[in-house]
Every structure is written in structure tokens, then in C-alpha cells.
Structure 1
Amino acid sequence: MYASKKYLTVAWILVLPALLIRIFTTIYPIIETFRISFFDVKLLRGTNEFVGLQNYIDLFGDSKMLTSLSFTAIFVIGSMAGHLVLGIALALILNMKFAGQKVLRTIVLLPWAMPMVVIAMASKWAFNNDYGLVNDFIRWFAPSFQLDWLIHTNTARFAVIAVDLWKDIPFFAILILAGLQFISSDIYEAAKIDGAGAVRSFFRLTLPLLAKSILVLSIFFTMWRITSFDVVYAMTSGGPGESTALIAYRVTTEAFTNLNTGYAASIAIVLFLVMAVLGGISMSATKRVDY
């Protein structure tokens, strides 16, 4: 009994430094952000006044914030729809047996391995009307085509979503591919004998067997999309106007550009609560979906 208590004490002593670092770098910032969200903290004016829920009330009455919320919803839905359709399609292609399969898998992962900031900066040039790669390609088929993608709201939003998909679909596809590797080929052979074609096998066998993996990946990729910042920061800076300013970008702008720390903290807390809800849904869905 004494020996077990001694070992337990030693274990706590060894774990304590890491635990304290974790508390200082994770729990303390969350608590401090929550506290600041109830204050009117403007560094330029030197104000630090308790305002209660006023920051949260202002948040839902702010037109810029509402624009950010709407584009974040569009960005998340559009991006995840693309990830599901194109990611699963790419995973099925990579799962086929053909010459150069391993080489193709390696090449496909290259966009994901590159930093998003680098890709976004390159994309800023690629979508330029005069010398951009995108318009240059389109002009092979339509020589008179003219469009400056990043100065119009709809095309700028489309470009941001397209770049996000190009960057992360390979990673999503590789994770789905890992799930496909665990499906026995005997199942497909039996289905083929029973007269099931490729399409029917996909909807009746592949999708149900991958349902749990797809659900979990979709939730986590959705969480990553909600907190996206770098693609907008490097590619459009939230423009034109505020049309491509995601929520995470809005937090950064309010905190470090406008120096409106209290308001930025309230946005961050709302974002944190959304992420907590999605995390809870993820854990619940993982337990419920099982094949």
C-alpha cells in the first residue's frame, strides 16, 4: 500500500511540469479571453471598462460581423461538399490498381504538404486577370475572356473556396483511402457474383462501410474550416470590402488592427463555443454510427 502511494506521488511529480505548462498555455488563455469579452478594452483609447454582455450584443448587430458569418457558412458548406464529393472520388481512383499507383499517391499529396500561406500568395497571382495562370488556361478555349477574380465578391469567394479545396482534398482523400484499404475484396467479389455492378456496390457496400470514417472526418474538417485564417489573410485580406473575411480573420482584425481587444475576445468565445458543440457532436456521432 505504501509502495503504491509512493509510486503514485512520483508519477504526479513527473507529470506536474507538463500539466502546469498545459494549464498555462491552454486553460489560462481561455479563461482570460472569456474575462476580457465582458470588458470594453480599446488599446488606442486606453479604455478598460466592464460592459457586461454589450460586446456580444454588438456582435450580432455588426454588419461586418454578419457578412463574416454568412461567408463562413458559405465557405464551410461549399468546402465540405467539395471535400466529400471530390475527396471520395479521388480516394476511389487512388485505390485502383494500375502502373505508377504509388507515384501518383505521392504527387497527389504535394499540395497538402505545402504551407497554406505560400499557396494563397501564389493563388493571388494565379487569379490575376492580366498574367494569371487561371485566365491564361481559360483563354486557350475563349481568347477574349477577361475577369479579375479577386475584385468581385462572388468570384473572390469562389476562388478562396477553390484554393482551400485544392490544398486539403488530397489529405482528405488519403484518409478515406486508408479506410478503403480495410474493406476486404471478398465482399466485392460476392456482390459481383450476386449481380451488383460498380455503382450499386459503391452505394450499398463502400459508403456504408466508410460511413463512420466519413462522418468523423467531415466533422473535424468542418472544425478546421471554421477556424481557417491563413488562406484569406494571404490571398484576399478579407476583400473585396469585407466579403471574404472569415470569422477567424475577423478576430485577428479586431484584435491586432483595430486594437479592440474586448470585442475580439467576444467573437473568439462564440467561435470557441461553436467548436465545443461540434466536438460534442463528433464524439456522440462516433459512438452512434458503427458498421
Structure 2
Amino acid sequence: MSLPKPPRRKRAAAAQLALLPMALTVLGVYIGTVLWSVRISFSSSKIFPTSDFVGLAQYQRLFNAERWIVSLHNLAIFGALFIAACLVLGFLLAVFLDQRVRGENALRTVFLYPYAMSFVATGLVWQWMLNPELGIQSTVRRLGFPGFEFDWIVSQDKVIYTLVIAAVWQASGLVMAVLLAGLRGIDESLWNAARIDGVPRWRYYLSVVLPQLGPAFGTAFVLLAVGVVKVYDVVIAMTQGGPGNASEVPAKFIIDSLFNRANVGLASAASTVMLLTVLALLLPWWYARSVRSRAGAQA
């Protein structure tokens, strides 16, 4: 004899009660520390936090620091190239797998596997491959091409592009998975109708598929953009921010200011700037999704 199920309202209350410890943890630890960091950014804190108030002095000092400006410039280059390359390559991989090719499951695993690796492991692998004395350049020269050069990782003008190569190799599989899910949600009858009308496949993808993948592209863009803002591991593993400050990024500037230069106030100001950057990326995306959800509920 089966026991009667508790009312739906009681089940919902029990689920909310089970989530309460996690909610309190998020509110107390995450949001609390964020607010504390913002408050410290308006103080003159050095090694230890202080409760004084100096207004925007730390922010003025931050944007007068050449190293911070260089890090923002590097982040802009890295972010633009990384996001564009991942979206293009991920879309092409998704379109390729959408053709129901043989061994699709194995190929999907291979393409997505790099994303399962940590950025540290990715950075170390690519550091070895791009090392002029050990990697691609050395191998090609031993094959009989002594004039071949591929020393971007030790070039101040080109080192940022090596970070893009490594990051795209790792993250493009994630974009592929997101866009492939979007492709599989498109009604196949559209392609059948287009084929009957003699529409070439490239035209079908350009005029029919791409407009319907807007939400998937938006999700992929937000994921990539947030990853750009917090990029750190691959820089440390590959270049340590060098040569010089040629591959410096804001996250490394923050960590160095906090631990190596013992400047809590400056590090908190930089962290607050990056937090505002992330919110500027997430809030429009969240708002657009909310609008679409309400529109779908009213339809």
C-alpha cells in the first residue's frame, strides 16, 4: 500500500528549506565579501584593511598606473579575437556535426574534450609547443627548414596572440556544444522545404538558421565574455604576463597588487572595476531573457 504524497505546497516548502543553507552561504560569504571589497576600495588600505574613507583616490591611482592601462589594452585585444574566433570556429564545428556525420559522438567528445582541461594544463601544453627551442619552431627546423620562425611567445608584439590561440583551442568546443543544441532545436522541415525550392545549403544557414540561433549565440557570447574578464590561469602558465608587461591582464594585476605589492585598497578598486564590467555584460543578457520569457508566457 503506497503512502499518499504530501501536498505540492509542502513539497515546495521542503525544497526551499533544503536550499536555505546554500542561500545563506551565498548571501553571507559571496555577496558579503563583494560588498566588503567595494568598501575597502574607498579606503587607504595597504597591507591590512582600514576603515578610513579616501573617496576615489584608489581609482584615480589605478587609472594613472601604466601597467593597469596596458592590462586593459591587452584584455581588449584578447577578448575581441578570442570571442570572434570561438564563435566562428564553434559555429563551423556545430554545422559540421549537424550533418549527421559518421562517428558524431566520438567527434563531439574530441572537440569538447579540451574544455574539460584546466587553463593551467592548456597553458603549459601550449607553452611547450610555442617554445622556440623545444616546440613547433624547433621541430620544423629539424625537418629541414632552418629559416622557419615561430617565436611569438617571446615577442612583445605577438605574445598576446599566443594566448588567443591557446584559449580558442580550449573554449571553441563549448561554443560548439551550445550552438549544436540550438541547431538540433530547429525544425528539419525548414531544410526540406528549402531543398525543394533549390536553396543552397550555405544560403539556408545564412538566412534561416543564423537568425534562429540568436539566443544560443547570446548565451555563448556571455559565457566567453565572462571568461575573458577573469582570464588569469592561461597567462600565468604560458607567459607570467611577459615578456615585460606585453601579456599583462587585469586579473594578474589584481593578484600581484594584493599579494606581491601588499596593496589591498588598489587591488579592491581594480576588482570593483572588473565586477562592474561583468555586471555590464550579464544584466542586458538577463534582461533580454526575462523579456523573451514573459513574451513566451503571454503568447
TM-score (norm 2): 0.87
Pair 1:138–1:274, CA change in 2 (3 A): farther
- Contact map agreement 2:137 2:148 (CA 8 A) in 1: no
Matched position secondary structure for 2:157: helix
Determine whether 1:228 maps to 2:231. Answer: yes
Cα deviation digits, residues 21-70 of structure 1 (max 9, x gap): 22222111011101110122222xx6845422100111111111100011
Cα deviation digits, residues 146-197 of structure 1 (max 9, x gap): 3432221232111001000001101111111111111122110101111211
- Pick one of 56, 59, 63 that aligns with 2:62: 59
Pair 1:131–1:206, CA change in 2 (3 A): same
Superposed displacement of residue 133, structure 1: 3.3
Matches of 2:107 and 2:13 in 1, distance apart? 52
Aligned to 2:45: 41
Q: Using the TM superposition, name which of 245-254 and 155-164 deviates more.
A: 245-254
- Pick one of 236, 248, 253 that aligns with 1:245: 248
Aligned to 1:29: 33
Pair 1:212–1:47, CA change in 2 (3 A): closer
Matches of 2:60 and 2:96 in 1, distance apart? 49
Matches of 1:138 and 1:175 in 2, distance apart? 40
User: For residues 187-266 of structure 1, what are the structure 2 equivalents within 5 Å?
Assistant: 187-266=190-269
Q: Using the TM superposition, name which of 281-290 and 195-204 deviates more.
A: 281-290
Aligned to 1:180: 183
Aligned to 1:158: 161
Superposed displacement of residue 15, structure 1: 4.8
Identity %: 29
TM-score (norm 1): 0.89
Aligned to 1:278: 281
Matched position secondary structure for 2:44: strand
Count of paired positions? 287
Aligned to 2:75: 72
Matched position secondary structure for 2:256: helix
Q: CA RMSD in A?
A: 2.7
Matches of 1:8 and 1:208 in 2, distance apart? 38
Aligned to 2:24: 20
5+ residue gaps, structure 2, are 1-8
Cα deviation digits, residues 70-105 of structure 1 (max 9, x gap): 111111111011011111011111112222222111
Matches of 1:170 and 1:219 in 2, distance apart? 15
Superposed displacement of residue 219, structure 1: 2.1
Cα deviation digits, residues 204-227 of structure 1 (max 9, x gap): 111011112112221231122111
Aligned to 1:119: 122
Matches of 1:280 and 1:47 in 2, distance apart? 30
Matched position secondary structure for 1:153: coil
